[in-house]
Amino acid sequence: MTGTSIQYHNGQIHVPNDPVIPFIEGDGIGVDVTPAMQKVLDGAVTRAYGGLRKLHWRELYAGQKAVVEFGEGVYLPASTLEAIRHYHVAIKGPLETPVGGGIRSLNVTLRQDLDLYVCLRPVRYFPGTPSPLKEPEKVDMVIFRENAEDIYAGIEWAAGTPEAAKVIAFLQQEMGVKQIRFPASSAIGIKPVSQEGSARLIRRAIQYALQHRLPSVTLVHKGNIMKYTEGGFRDWGYALAESEFGERIFTWRQRAALRKEKGREAAIAAEREALAAGKLLVKDVIADNFLQQILLRPEDYSVVATLNLNGDYISDALAAEVGGIGMAPGANLSDTHAIFEATHGTAPDIAGLGKANPSSLILSGAMLLEHLGWQEAADLVIQSLAAAIAAGQVTEDLASLQGRSGLSTAEFTAAILQQMGG
């Protein structure tokens, strides 16, 4: 097989000029959007580097295609996981969640097995996309959603089961808990949030903001109610920012301490000075307020670090502000592995009809190119996709919102390549 594997040495990525890029086509509209993404990425790499660099695609099986290839019930063959471990990156189309007891969602399995603790979702507006906002161009954020903890750990017991009764009895008898309103009919869930898990996520968010010279990192939490879990996330985040990034950042916790010590004016002046000196501002906001602020003052937010459940709501709300899930790219990352993915589902209603919007996967592909350090190619993908949309060349999902008919997936892909000059 041609192509060379990406490697990591001492935590640093080493990318050859001919990297093997594993891809999972995906179920449903995977057959429409995955080839579109590959064409656009190949076009951008050729245009940016001539013959010097080339992506070597290698198909991995997951979902329905894996069942066809490996047999009944095999949705995620061990060879697919091994290959992603070996090659360090992959890009995937949407995967249908198999229906039936005992089968974990394939996306969750991939995240857990590779400990992909960051769910990265950049959200930006492409002029020409229909949006419910008056000034959607003010939305330009990058969400770092914690991917491994929180209520998503799946530790819960159904109401009426002996397990729920046992946990409730323990809480009441041994922990002195009196607040369970209806103990006999309560289901019980556990929300683990750790210092380590919060720190590694927030560290990545701050590093990203500093690398990209962005103005702020906002910790979004519900620490007013969940003081030790979500409040812990905020407090550990501030502590980490101050201890690991020192003079490069200024935090609202430092501002609050100054205010207490020297008064309001001094605190405001210190913040102004820090920002004028180009320091990164680390601040926090309570989750419900944040959902208001992204509608009222989106320009105040840049990089956002948040817990798993908040991140789920926030990602979809922000995606809707800038054109919906057909447009929103994403990646799941660990320190050494990255899976780039379409954030929408398999869209069974339009699967295989050549109508799907491939933007989400194409923009995820641009994130992959950036991850490789191939910034010129990444920029070309984003610029040409933006130019096509600005010229009114959009797929049916967006065109229909403007009361007109749209391009097919293949026509939209051709339009992007044409904008690239190829």
Active-site annotation, residues: 152, 222, 288, 312
User: What residues contact 108, with CB distance under 8 A and at least 6 apart?
Assistant: none
Q: CA-to-CA distance for 359 and 362, rounded, in angstroms?
A: 5
Residue nearest to ligand NAI (CB): 345
Report the greatest alpha carbon distance in the chain: 71
Residue whose entry in the numeric block shows the structure tokens 């019930």: 73
Of the candidate residues 199, 344, 378, 385, the single one contacting ligand NAI (CB under 6 A)? 344
* Structure-block tokens of residue 110: 């991939």
Residue 117 one-letter amino acid: Y
Which helix (H) or strand (E) covers residue 268, if one does?
Answer: helix 264-276
Query: What is the rounded CA–CA span in Å between residue 334 and residue 116?
Result: 4
Is the Cα dihedral 247, 249, 251, 255 positive or negative? positive
Show the binding pattern over residues 221-250: x = contacts ligand NAI (CB under 6 A), - = does not: ------------------------------
Question: What is the smallest separation between the CB atom of 340 and ligand NAI, expressed in angstroms?
Answer: 11
Helix, strand, coil percentages, rounded to 5, for the chain: 50, 15, 35
- Of 110-118, 127-135, 277-285, 342-350: span binding ligand NAI (CB under 6 A): 342-350
For residue 214, the SS3 value is: coil
Q: Quick count: other Cβ atoms within 10 Å of Cβ 386?
A: 18
**Residues between 77 and 106 with contacts to ligand NAI, criterion CB under 6 A:** 94-97
Sign of the CA dihedral running 198, 238, 310, 126: negative
Q: How far is CA 226 from CA 47, 181, 192, 231, in A?
A: 51, 18, 11, 6
* Pick 334 or 359: Cβ nearer ligand NAI: 359
Q: In angstroms, what is the minimal distance from the CB of 120 to ligand NAI?
A: 14
Q: Does 120 bind ligand NAI (CB under 6 A)?
A: no
Task: Report the DSSP beta bridge partners of residue 141.
Answer: 123
The residue (of 346 and 419) whose beta carbon lies closer to ligand NAI is 346
| CB 378 to ligand NAI: min, Å | 20
Binds ligand NAI (CB under 6 A): choice among 188, 356, 382, 417: 356
Nearer to ligand NAI, 129 or 198 (CB): 129
Kind of pairing between the strands at 338-342 and 89-92: parallel
| Least distance (Å) between residue 138 CB and ligand NAI | 25
CA–CA separation, 33 and 326 (whole Å): 10
Closest to ligand NAI by CB, 46 vs 107, is: 107
Q: How far is the CB of 319 from ligand NAI (least distance, A)?
A: 11
Residue 346 as a binder of ligand NAI (CB under 6 A): the answer is yes
CB 24 within 8 A of CB 95: yes
Instruction: Give the range of 49-57, 140-148, 215-223, 352-360 binding ligand NAI by CB under 6 A.
Output: 352-360
CB of 285 to ligand NAI, least distance (A): 27
At which residue do the structure tokens 């060379």 appear?
Answer: 4
Residues 383-422 that bind ligand NAI (CB under 6 A): 397
Gyration radius from the chain CA atoms:
23
Looking only at the bridges linking them, the beta strands covering 140-146 and 303-306 are parallel
Q: Is 347 in the site for ligand NAI (CB under 6 A)?
A: yes
Determine the size of the site formed for ligand NAI (CB under 6 A).
Answer: 20
Residue 326 sits in the site that holds ligand NAI (CB under 6 A): yes
> Contacts with ligand NAI in 23-82 (CB under 6 A)?
29
Q: Is 321 in the site for ligand NAI (CB under 6 A)?
A: no
- Measured from the CB of residue 95, what is the shortest distance to ligand NAI in angstroms? 4
- Site residues, ligand NAI (CB under 6 A): 29, 94-97, 107, 325-326, 341, 344-350, 356-357, 360, 397
